[in-house]
Structure formats: structure tokens, C-alpha cells
Amino acid sequence: MSAEPSVEQVPIVEVHGAATDPVEHARFDAFAQVFHDATRHDLGDADAWTADELRAVDADLTKRRVRLAALDGHVLCGSVELILPLRDNLHAAYLELAVRPGHRRRGIGTRLLEAVERIALAEGRTSLMSDTAWLPDAAEEDPSGHFARRHGYAPAQTVRRSDYPVPDTDPVVPPAPQGYAVETHVGTPPEADLTDRAWLARRMSTDAPLGDLDIDEEDWDEDRVRALDARLETMGRGRVGAFARHLGSGRVVAFSEIQVPAASPRLAYHQDTLVLREHRGHGLGLVLKLANVPVLREAFPEVRTVRTWNAVENSHMLAVNDAMGYVTSGFLREWQKRR
């Protein structure tokens, strides 16, 4: 029997979603599958994007993505994706790292991490961010956190993952608060609201709790929103959204969106919910999230669960979720390394 190769002998190669060579194309598929396998092992199910979804996000010109894989013979055993913002937050880099369960504790994760850190440093990025996750009933809180600490990362924020069992009947949706109207949409939202959607996306990067994360305001305009809409269509993601329109100004001042992946239509994701600070205190968040449910049930009857993530300090939105019947299904910790 041949000896197991040392970690220094495990090659690290770059993979590309746009590869047309059959071997390279299959390697990218395997790259994406590592995230699914690792998440399913650690959390019981997989939230990772499919290979085709990753290929679709490459059209996002506001970010550069570098993807590296570790090869143990013919087995792709580890994956890391480095995301470098190009339009804002030019000091920051985000990374996702996963190693197949059977290849862990051999130094493969360390090699992948060091490889992308070198790239980030060469790009002048001074804040590196990543995350770990664990189940509520795990024997140990955040077991992957030991790896993060050992490599110089500090906890920056803790996030609660919550799941909403879609009911068999529509919930009671309260009327819109005085001075507001609630609208729901399936698919891409109306072109007429692009300006307001860009403003809401910009404010999402500042108004949502960020903990100690070193993140600046994101630069959104109508063209960036259009590009996002096009990518989601390419990904085949179903969308259900609710807007709150301020009747006095006619502007959209709050929104909540659910996305349904084509590859796993039973599990949907509550991507974002935001009420602008100056319009809070009227119960708009709860109204919008409830208003989405009947539309979701009709447009996407296969969906059984809606999943969302909220910072633990976001007590208001967590209270909204609890009132709707969301249950805690896991935790996520954001880690940060500053140079």
C-alpha cells in the first residue's frame, strides 16, 4: 500500500468556471461540490451555491474571484474562493474555505488559506473576512473557530440562522401602516423602482448591524441593480419580493425578498429585509415578511422552508422572525484578520 502523500505534495491549482476543456470543466464542478459535501457533513444540509450558480456570478464585474483547489491524486479534496471587491471596500477581501471531511487535519486547509492570503496581501487588502458555522445542539460551539483563531482571525460578529416552515394556509397579513402601501412582486421587480432599489441596496450595507466588521458603504446605482437582476435570471433563481411605498413621497422605503434556487426548490432563502431608519417604528418589517408568504406559496408551491440569517444584536428583526414562527437552526460567526 502506498503511503499517504504529505501535505506539501498535495498540489494547489486554480480553477475557472469559464473553462471549456472537459477536464477543467469537471474540476470546477468538483470544486463547488466540496462546499456542498463539507456543509452537509457539518450542518446536515447544504447552503452552498451550485457550480452553475458560481459560473453565473462571474458576470459580476464589481468583484474579482480567485478560486483554488487542492488535489489528492484524482480527488479534489479542498476548495477556497477569494472575493475581491473592485468598486468599493477596496481594502477588504472575503474568503470561503472548505475541506472534504475525509481529508481534514492534514494541513490542506492551512495551505489553501495561506495561498489566498498571499494573493489578498499582494492586492493591498488589509481586512480579510470569512465565516464558520455550527448547529444549535453541537457538542462544541463553533468547532471550526479554533482553525480561524490559530491563523490570526478574531471574531467580528455572530449570526443566528433561522428556518421558517411554510404553513399550509396563508398567514394573516396586517394592513399596511397609515401612510404606506405594500406591494408584492414575483420575478424581477419593476424597472420604475430601480433608483429606489439602488438606494436601499446602498443603505443595506450601512443600516444592517455589522458588528466589528471593517466594511464601508457599498456603491450601488441603477446599472448595478440591473446587472444583479440579470445574474439572478441566469442563475434561474425564483424571486418573491414585497415593497413598502411611502405614500407622501411615492418612494420605496422598505423591502423584503425571498429567492428560490432552481436546484433545490424546497429550501428558499430570505435574502434581505430592510426598513430605512427614518421609516422604522411602524411594523413594516413584519408586514413585508408576512406579505411575502401567500405570494411564495402560490408562485413556488414546492418550497417547504425559508431560511434567513440575522446578527444576534439585531433584536428587532429576530423578534419579527420569532413572531412569525422561525426556529433557530444554526449559528454563523464572522471572522476578521486585519493587517
Sketch the domain layout of the chain as residue ranges: 7-125, 164-338
Q: Please give the pLDDT value at position 2.
A: 31
DSSP, res 9 = G
7-125 CATH, one of 3.30.1360.120, 3.30.1130.10, 3.40.630.30, 3.40.50.10740? 3.40.630.30
Look up the CATH architecture of domain 164-338.
3-Layer(aba) Sandwich (3.40)
Q: Please give the pLDDT value at position 3.
A: 35
Q: Kind of pairing, strands 154-165 and 327-338?
A: antiparallel
The pLDDT confidence band at residue 246, using thresholds 50, 70 and 90, is: very high
Residue 252 main-chain phi, psi, to 5 deg: -80, 120
Q: Please give the pLDDT value at position 46.
A: 84
The pLDDT confidence band at residue 6, using thresholds 50, 70 and 90, is: low
Give pTM, 2 decimals: 0.93
Q: How many CA atoms lie within 13 A of 208 on its CB side?
A: 25
Please state, in angstroms and as integers, the Cα–Cα distance from residue 77 to each residue in 42, 216, 259, following that order. 16, 34, 30
The pLDDT tens digits for 32-71 are 999 999 999 999 888 889 999 999 999 999 999 999 999 9
The pLDDT tens digits for 164-215 are 999 999 999 999 999 999 999 999 999 999 999 999 999 999 988 999 999 9
CB atoms within 10 A of CB 86: 11
The pLDDT tens digits for 110-133 are 999 999 999 999 999 999 999 999
**Do 7-125 and 164-338 come out as alike in CATH topology?**
yes
